[in-house]
A and B are shown apart, each in its own frame.
Chain A
């Protein structure tokens, strides 16, 4: 069968018969067929439509992933002959103290990349949606979303200036008479991780707000009107209507931000490189160090696979939870 024949098949949905767009269909279409084979053909057509997306996805995502899984079974420095070591690399991961630290930090980053941005996004969405149409709202919305469009590397460089010894933050502290609180934030064992985390909060909050904003627009205004008739104020509206009805958006926001937290790399690489000491080391940094600096491609691959599995599980759990009825 030629490609042209397949393309003239009706689209799988809607199921109702549709008049053929082209004049007379090819003879092949009039041949009597079983329902099952018709469905099979429609599947094939659907796959054909998917091909332009599926092909690059397979080439650039699925195959490299499989390749990484394969490499994780070897002791390989990236140059010389690899030697097969089975699951040894995975065992090494389990016993590495640096890795334990990295796992903790990734966990802490969920607070800054997910929990905080979702709270900030929710509140700002509530405020912006109530002010819709008034002057300045569009500007506020744009400003809040702006960090999302700046490349993370640029964000990192920007915030290095903010957090520097003579940076904006310290200058602000000195201006308001709190000069005693200044610090070289990214070089502090106590503050480096929260400092990097807050950059993440700043970046992701706008995205969460836009998600929630589109969610609130989906909510039927009559529900709000009914609530108002019952005497509900803005806070009550927010807790009783907006939050529960935004469940799907919550799931999306949580999935995206948890992935960002667990797979974080560029922001930390630019701002602290994992330091001071190991205080901001995350799995992404370790993978990079091991693979490209340390000549331990096998261990790095194993770590990457573990990270992929953990992230997939996290997203799976989030989606399961969000599907349950409120």
Chain B
């Protein structure tokens, strides 16, 4: 080909590329959201009257139980003028896409709030619902509202403005296989952590997997969280999980928790090659009859009960010293309202509905603890045991936040990585905690 057309086309091409590039860069300021949002809050006059006109509410959630759909159906039945649409996303995808979802013009009215969404607060994409809270009296109706109270920069939990409510609560404890425990002569529940470890040793000596776990996706965070609950003082635990300035997890008590977990792995109490097993597979294996104990949350109760039937048992994680207060780790399914919602009053009515007696039955059936604990229908078998365990936790005020939930948006990934290193013998307890602390400081600098 002769050079002239070729150079011409190249020139045209370059010019076109340049023009397109310039146009793109000019458009970029519009492509970075956050620039145009105005602060929204319900500080104006609010009322608890449910709007009577035809309204559509969109609820985004990642709750893979029957709770959210159940609440939606019951709410719709009560308020036929309000159409509620559910926008469900699987847990991992929900976490990764929620920032974008909430920034969009078509943001859902209500969204399940979870860790990693703190940026929405300074982004002014969440409605401050404090005024509705006062009008409805949420402080008396919902336990644990401090877990969804955030400072204006979104980095510290427990102080600042209220951004939602915790509807169904979850908490962690110890499941066990009754038949095997009987056969091995294990006395449950153990009075102390030490006694629990002695039971593990007995089970291991009998050739059983003492503690069924899966750490391919970081499932060892369940035993680690409850060990931290037992060892660490609530003050230190909350300071760290809630992201208080200059809080640290590099503490002797936290080191004891990490040491204990590593020892359980080293002594062969935990599922062998735990880093290659996923948390869901661990629950499935336990429900099929593998192993003797499993530390997990009440969300696993339904699966365990289905698998082991009458043979499934539950007790709360024992304290360090006999007779001590019961402390464990848990969180709620929190619902918050979008700052872009045009139907804030209706959305607030939905939040309030979640605290009622009618909702309690739905919440309890889904395996969660209802805010109105007294209205929960009594259940038999394993679910009944779990519910009884919950009463003790509430009595001892022992519910503490997951450490990966509040401290930084990346803590979930970091904790998984560090737990794999700890379980694989690639990190000492000190190095493990230092790794977590680095992530914390990168965010709270």
Interface residues of A (CB under 8 A from B): 36, 39-40, 42-43, 47, 58, 62-63, 66-67, 70-71, 74, 76-82, 163-165, 183-189, 272-278, 288-289, 292-295
* Contact A66–B4 (Cβ < 8 Å): no
Closest 8 CB pairs of A and B: A184-B276, A187-B276, A187-B275, A79-B123, A184-B273, A292-B96, A276-B420, A276-B275
Contacts of A278 in B (CB 8 A): 417
Interface window among B28-36, B50-58, B188-196, B262-270:
B28-36
Instruction: Give me 22 A-to-B residue pairs in the complex whose CB atoms sit less than 8 angstroms apart, sorted by A's number.
Output: A40-B5, A58-B20, A67-B28, A70-B28, A71-B28, A78-B99, A79-B34, A79-B120, A80-B34, A80-B119, A164-B276, A165-B272, A184-B273, A186-B216, A273-B217, A276-B215, A276-B424, A277-B427, A289-B410, A292-B96, A293-B95, A293-B410
Which A residues are in CB contact (< 8 Å) with B306? none
Q: Which residue of B lies closest to A74 (CB)?
A: B32
Q: Which residues of A contact B25 (CB under 8 A)?
A: 66, 70
Contacts of B106 in A (CB 8 A): none
Interface residue range, chain B: 35 or more
A43–B125 Cα distance when bound, in Å, is 50
B416 within 8 A of A: yes
Contact status B216-A187, CB under 8 Å: yes
Give the docked Cα–Cα distance between A184 and B106 (Å): 44
Q: List chain B positions with a Cβ less than 8 A from chain A.
A: 4-5, 8-9, 12, 17, 20-21, 24-25, 28, 31-35, 95-97, 99-100, 102-103, 116, 119-120, 122-123, 125, 215-217, 272-277, 281, 409-410, 412-413, 416-417, 420-421, 423-424, 426-427
CA distance A77 to B24 in the complex (A): 21
Roughly how many angstroms separate A47 CA and B24 CA in the complex, as a whole number?
21
Measured between alpha carbons, how far is A186 from B200 in the docked complex, in Å? 26
* Contact across chains for A294 and B4 when beta carbons are under 8 A apart: no
Contact across chains for B4 and A277 when beta carbons are under 8 A apart: no
Contacts of A294 in B (CB 8 A): 409-410, 413
Contact A40 B35 (CB under 8 A): no
Give the interface SS of chain B, mostly helix, strand, loop or mixed: helix
User: A39 touching B5 by the CB < 8 A rule?
Assistant: yes
* A36 and B274 contacting across the interface, CB-CB below 8 Å: no
Q: Distance (Å) between the CB of A325 and the closest chain B CB?
A: 22
A67 engages B119 (CB within 8 Å)? no
Q: Is the CB of B413 within 8 A of A187?
A: no
Within the complex, which residue of B5, B103, B420 is in contact with A275, where a contact is CB–CB below 8 Å? B420
Complex interface: chain B residues within 8 A of A288 (CB) = 96
Which residues of chain B have C-beta atoms less than 8 A from A275's C-beta?
216, 275, 416-417, 420
Instruction: Evaluate contact between A272 and B216: CB separation under 8 angstroms.
Output: yes
Q: Is the beta-carbon distance between A189 and B426 smaller than 8 angstroms?
A: yes
B31 contact set on A, CB distance < 8 A: 67
Complex Cα distance A164/B426, Å?
A: 22
Tell me the complex Cα distance, A32–B31, Å.
49
**Chain A residue contacts of B100, Cβ below 8 A:** 78
Q: Are B216 and A82 in contact (CB under 8 A)?
A: no
Residues on A with C-beta less than 8 A from B216 are 186-187, 272-273, 275-276
CB distance from A101 to the nearest CB of B (A): 11
Given contacts A58-B20, A67-B31, contact A187 B215 (CB under 8 A): yes
Minimum CB–CB distance for B15 against chain A, Å: 12
Taking CB atoms, residues of chain A closer than 8 Å to B102 are 79
**Distance in Å: Cβ of A267 to nearest Cβ of chain B:** 15
Residue of B nearest to A274 (CB): B417
